[in-house]
């Protein structure tokens, strides 16, 4: 891994750490296990929700984000951000 990637990973980890357990924590839909999907709260290792269906994970992340007044961030199979849904007031 290059120094640039290490720096990006450190910045990302710091970003998530600062939001973990706060009202700013967002919900991410990410690939999980072999063929599944998970909804994870920023800064948390354990998923809040798991499913075989990406569309089910997206629905749940949107519901959770709307209820919490935060964001749902949807990732593709490679982990890159695909779309974001903002429910902040």
pLDDT at 14 (0 to 100) = 55
Specify whether the CB–CB gap between 32 and 5 falls below 8 A: no
User: 13-62: per-residue pLDDT in tens?
Assistant: 554 455 444 456 899 999 998 889 999 999 888 999 999 999 999 999 99
- pTM, two decimals, is 0.74
Neighbours of 59 (CB within 10 A): 16
Whole-number Å distance between alpha carbons of 81 and 57: 15
Q: Which residue has the tokens 């354990």?
A: 46
Residue 75: both structure tokens together: 């990732």
Q: Of 69, 77, 74, which Cα lies nearest the Cα of 59?
A: 74
């Amino acid at each position: 891994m290059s120094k640039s990637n290490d720096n990006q990973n450190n910045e990302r980890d710091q970003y998530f750490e600062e939001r973990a357990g706060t009202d700013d924590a967002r919900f991410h839909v990410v690939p999980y296990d072999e063929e599944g999907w998970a909804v994870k709260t920023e800064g948390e290792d354990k998923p809040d929700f798991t499913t075989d269906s990406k569309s089910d994970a997206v629905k749940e992340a949107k519901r959770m984000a709307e209820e919490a007044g935060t964001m749902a961030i949807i990732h593709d199979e490679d982990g890159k951000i695909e779309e974001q849904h903002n429910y902040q007031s």
